[in-house]
Chain A
């Protein structure tokens, strides 16, 4: 399949190319937004054309009877294992956002008429592992996630790949947080010549009084972008945190839109970016407060540390506000490691590399510590050290 063929096509042509029918409203949305290119607002900092260009082989997504495992294992878009007692289904997505900003959200839905639906029971903690084993492939799948009212569930997401190359993963979730619930999603994606690029396009609906805690830890190299739309009902809250540590010529990051719909909804968004080599970090984040969302609180902040003069941070925190009754703040800073601190550590016999690592982890620590589980904290730190040492040898 060649995705570039979808450029500037009308409804009939897209239907013909994708073999879709009865899904015209989605196709219309896709056509209206257009296949992303350099010129698309939401992809301006990311080289999406490079990922869309190649000819990819497509895969068949035949559901299997999952084995029992301690985690949900998804291999090339097919669920192969789930924890005992977990409810995972293959079915059509019931609630697709008709006002998402990302065309690939719609393409993802069009390519994946059957989604992986996961119902989180009670106060569970689940790990979802995504694994990719195919080269030169377009791997597309979507997850639909539900939790239960008054419950507090946690999802840990991880990504691994075999020794593959030139694969594109188009993936994402539609998340529905029930009233008065908390859902914590901690995503860790360490890529270093992982052999795949990724565009992940998400939608998170946060119902009344619910609390979404979304934390992503994106480490290493390669090309990947997550596009996230969050919609907040009355008294709903989102706590969104992104850590980026990039090296080489990686381009990765987050494009987000947090929409305050309900009164008294609150959002907090924090990005910490550590950029090495020639990498580019992306934090292109819009908070929109609608007329209906009085007494909102919105807070947005991006901090970047450049470890190399060729690294670059594209930080664009933006507020779009239609009312007066709110509290909002946003800001972005870019700087270097503090020389005085670095020297202090070195003056105690700690090597330059080790001292830099300590300061970088210190910078990242506020986000890492928000991952309450110490085992997962350690995992993030270990993954971080692995990619860090690859680029820094004494």
Chain B
């Protein structure tokens, strides 16, 4: 797999004094959907935070190579501008920051980075309208404060809306499906599928096979105790559901 878009080599990371990632290896291929499954506390969210440069996570070894370049030290906003996106497991509420204004600021930062012209408020709203409809989001959700008072499902839809607008190249979804009702799950999956273009790659962290029925992963990785201990095709899901993680032997 030399054509990987993101390559994680022997990654070691701490949160506080605790070693969480213990030599993790993973490669994301362009155009592919990678699912990560694993027990609670295995380090899945820590991995996703490490990839976007979260302040909680201190890298103590290994490399994150994005498009051939080591990004271990890259600033979070720079990673975003370069095309890495994380949908947070628990998106934060920001009272007083208007959702639409936030989204437009983010989009225009990206456009500026790419040498494109900024969109004005009207152009932006036009761009957003279709996405909102597809995601089943009420239009008042974009005129409200960012995530403030949003239900769990609304927050997740809002994360997907950001993904659709920012059009990133590596998309990390940390439990995007947790707490979603069936309609929301379908809408969110549709949003994800819409982003598949044969080039983008996806890293989908989940505990359930439900979402995988919709978005059809190419690979399943099992993350346990800070390492990827197994990689297989989608058939692994059924096996995991039946026997649990304890039955998996490190390869």
Contacts and interface: CB of A to CB of B under 8 A. Distances in A.
A binds B: yes
Interface of A: 338-341, 343-352, 354-355, 358-359, 361-363, 365-366
30 contacts: A338-B92, A340-B92, A341-B92, A344-B88, A344-B92, A345-B97, A345-B102, A345-B106, A346-B76, A346-B80, A347-B53, A347-B54, A347-B76, A347-B77, A347-B80, A347-B86, A348-B80, A348-B102, A348-B162, A348-B166, A349-B77, A349-B80, A350-B102, A352-B75, A352-B77, A354-B109, A358-B105, A359-B94, A359-B96, A362-B97
Contacts of A338: 92
B109 A362 contact: no
B95 interface: yes
Interface string B79-95: 11100001010011011
Given A352-B77, A359-B94, A343 B54 contact: yes
Contacts of B102: 345, 348, 350, 358
A225 to B, nearest CB: 28
Interface of B: 52-55, 75-77, 79-81, 86, 88, 91-92, 94-97, 102, 105-106, 109-110, 113, 145, 162, 166
B77 A346 contact: yes
Count chain B CB atoms within 10 A of each CB in A347, A351, A355, A362 and give the residue with the most. A347
A339 B86 CA distance: 17
6 A-B pairs closest in CB distance: A362-B96, A349-B80, A348-B106, A365-B96, A346-B77, A346-B76
Contacts of B94: 341, 344-345, 359, 362
A345 B101 CA distance: 12
A365 B109 CA distance: 23
B106 A339 contact: no
Contacts of B92: 338, 340-341, 344
B171 to A, nearest CB: 13
Given A348-B106, A350-B105, A362-B94, A343 B55 contact: yes
A366 B96 CA distance: 8
Secondary structure type dominating chain A contacts? helix
A363 B96 contact: yes
A355 B105 CA distance: 10
Given A341-B94, A362-B95, A347 B52 contact: yes
Nearest to A357: B105
Contact of A351 (B79, B95, B109): B109
Nearest to A363: B96
A245 to B, nearest CB: 15
A364 to B, nearest CB: 8
A343 B76 contact: yes
A350 B52 contact: no
A359 B88 CA distance: 19
A362 B146 CA distance: 11
Contacts of B110: 349
A107 B68 CA distance: 72
A51 to B, nearest CB: 35
Contacts of A362: 94-97, 145
Nearest to A344: B92
Contacts of A349: 77, 80-81, 106, 109-110, 113, 166
Contacts of B54: 343, 347
A110 to B, nearest CB: 45
B82 to A, nearest CB: 9
A227 to B, nearest CB: 30
Contacts of A363: 96
Contacts of B95: 362
Nearest to B97: A362
Nearest to B112: A349
Nearest to B94: A341
A365 B86 CA distance: 28
Contacts of B106: 345, 348-350
Contacts of B145: 362
Contacts of A346: 75-77, 80
Contact of B109 (A340, A350, A359, A361): A350
Contact of B91 (A344, A352, A354, A361): A344
B243 to A, nearest CB: 36
A362 B98 CA distance: 9
Nearest to A365: B96
A381 to B, nearest CB: 12
Nearest to B80: A349
Contacts of B77: 346-347, 349-352, 355
A348 B94 CA distance: 14
Nearest to B109: A349
A351 B106 CA distance: 9
B52 A358 contact: no
A384 B204 CA distance: 41
Given A346-B80, A354-B105, 17 more contacts: A341-B94, A343-B76, A344-B91, A347-B53, A348-B102, A348-B106, A348-B109, A349-B77, A349-B80, A349-B81, A349-B109, A349-B110, A352-B75, A355-B77, A358-B102, A358-B105, A362-B97
